[in-house]
């Protein structure tokens, strides 16, 4: 039972069939009809004018940063955000942007924190240009960030003259958890990325959405980064099916809740954020590495989020029986945990 991430999902038979029957063309020439449909549908769901299909979420974020900034510009981002924590300093490497880290609960800084970080115009200061948000927030336990929390931050960013990019790799999880259209969560964002290969279950691919001029610029950066693809409709077909089935994400959230309460009943120090989605975190008494190794020997895999923190992620390949299996393994390991602590 693999609870390491929702990236481990495998294409369903229906998805494989859709891929095998996909109508294709050369996407670099804009001639792949399946990709074109996927981009149009994603733009519609996100309330944006256009979208661009890219191989990965990291590329989507980096193309957005490149398209919004010039070398020497300053971008503001939460210190636990994916685009800073897990993307290999790519914003500095490719865009030459100065990255300023901000703090805040559940992966979101406040308008006041952002305002205090933006310096006045001065030749000695970098040019403040971009604010990056993440929804859901991975390192905050998959927190779904509500409009009440996010809208004031976006409004303050625009007041300060900044553009706003939302890393929405799991945005549809946030929409399901908050019972809101995805469009509502990013209506004030200048750009947003969404991932097809996490909870949605496609084998690969992300999309970047925004205005038509922004996407035209982003398409050139995608080409420069080597992200131009050819008859990629065979993968876009899987993405279209994934978007059609996005409402099933609520099942993952229900199972994560069951896992969370089961872990609490067993005495584990488990936690979820204010608006939970498909992740459960556990603070371990002993080294997290020992716990992951012991669980793997018993047939359950999960990932570490720190020396004494583990993350469990539900997804479409985890059914109710999988939750039962995981809880049984955690029950077996209670003595091991006490000894490790």
Q: Are strands 191-195 and 163-168 parallel, antiparallel or unpaired?
A: parallel
Measured N-to-C along each axis, helices 249-265 and 171-178 cross at an angle, to the nearest 10 degrees, of 80
Structural contact between residues 281 and 141, judged by C-beta atoms closer than 8 angstroms = yes
The beta strands (E) that lie in 135-278 are given as: 163-168, 191-195, 206-210, 269-271
Q: What is the pTM of this model?
A: 0.95
Partnered with residue 73 across adjacent β-strands are 127
Domains of the chain with CATH codes: 8-245 (3.40.640.10), 248-333 (3.90.1150.10)
Helices and strands (H and E) in the chain: how many? 15, 11
pLDDT tens digits in sequence order for the chain, 341 residues long: 999 999 999 999 999 999 999 999 999 999 999 999 999 999 999 999 999 999 999 999 999 999 999 999 999 999 999 999 999 999 999 999 999 999 999 999 999 999 999 999 999 999 999 999 999 999 999 999 999 999 999 999 999 999 999 999 999 999 999 999 999 999 999 999 999 999 999 999 999 999 999 999 999 999 999 999 999 999 999 999 999 999 999 999 999 999 999 999 999 999 999 999 999 999 998 889 988 999 999 999 999 999 999 999 999 999 999 999 999 999 998 866 544 44
Cα(87)–Cα(57) distance, integer angstroms: 10
Structural contact between residues 221 and 94, judged by C-beta atoms closer than 8 angstroms = no
Structural contact between residues 100 and 75, judged by C-beta atoms closer than 8 angstroms = yes
The beta strands (E) that lie in 147-278 are given as: 163-168, 191-195, 206-210, 269-271
């Amino acid at each position: 039972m693999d609870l390491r991430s929702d990236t481990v999902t495998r294409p369903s038979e229906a998805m494989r069939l859709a891929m095998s029957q996909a109508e294709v063309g050369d996407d670099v020439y804009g001639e792949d009809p399946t990709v074109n449909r996927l981009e149009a549908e994603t733009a519609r769901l996100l309330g944006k004018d256009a979208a661009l299909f890219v191989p990965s979420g990291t590329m989507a974020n980096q193309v957005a940063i490149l398209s919004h900034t010039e070398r020497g510009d300053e971008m503001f981002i939460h210190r636990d955000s994916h685009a800073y924590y897990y993307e290999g300093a790519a914003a500095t490497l490719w865009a030459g942007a100065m990255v300023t880290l901000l703090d805040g609960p559940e992966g979101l800084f406040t308008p006041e924190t952002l305002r205090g970080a933006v310096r006045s115009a001065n030749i000695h200061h970098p040019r403040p240009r971009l604010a990056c948000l993440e929804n859901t927030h991975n390192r905050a336990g998959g927190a779904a960030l509500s409009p009440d929390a996010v809208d004031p931050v976006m409004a303050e960013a625009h007041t300060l003259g900044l553009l706003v990019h939302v890393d929405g790799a799991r945005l549809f999880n946030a929409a399901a958890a908050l019972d809101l259209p995805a469009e509502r969560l990013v209506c004030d964002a200048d750009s947003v990325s969404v991932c097809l290969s996490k909870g949605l279950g496609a084998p690969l691919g992300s999309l970047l959405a925004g205005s038509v001029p922004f996407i035209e610029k982003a398409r050139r950066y995608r080409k420069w980064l080597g992200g131009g693809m050819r008859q990629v409709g065979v993968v876009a077909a899987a993405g279209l099916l994934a978007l059609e089935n996005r409402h099933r994400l609520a099942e993952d959230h229900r199972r994560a809740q069951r896992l969370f309460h089961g872990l609490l009943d067993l005495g584990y120090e488990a936690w979820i954020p204010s608006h939970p989605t498909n992740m459960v975190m556990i603070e371990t008494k002993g080294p997290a590495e020992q716990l992951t190794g012991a669980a793997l020997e018993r047939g359950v895999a999960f990932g570490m989020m720190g020396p004494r923190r583990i993350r469990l992620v539900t997804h479409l390949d985890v059914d109710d029986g999988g939750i039962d299996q995981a809880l049984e393994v955690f029950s077996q390991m209670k003595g091991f945990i006490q000894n490790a602590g």
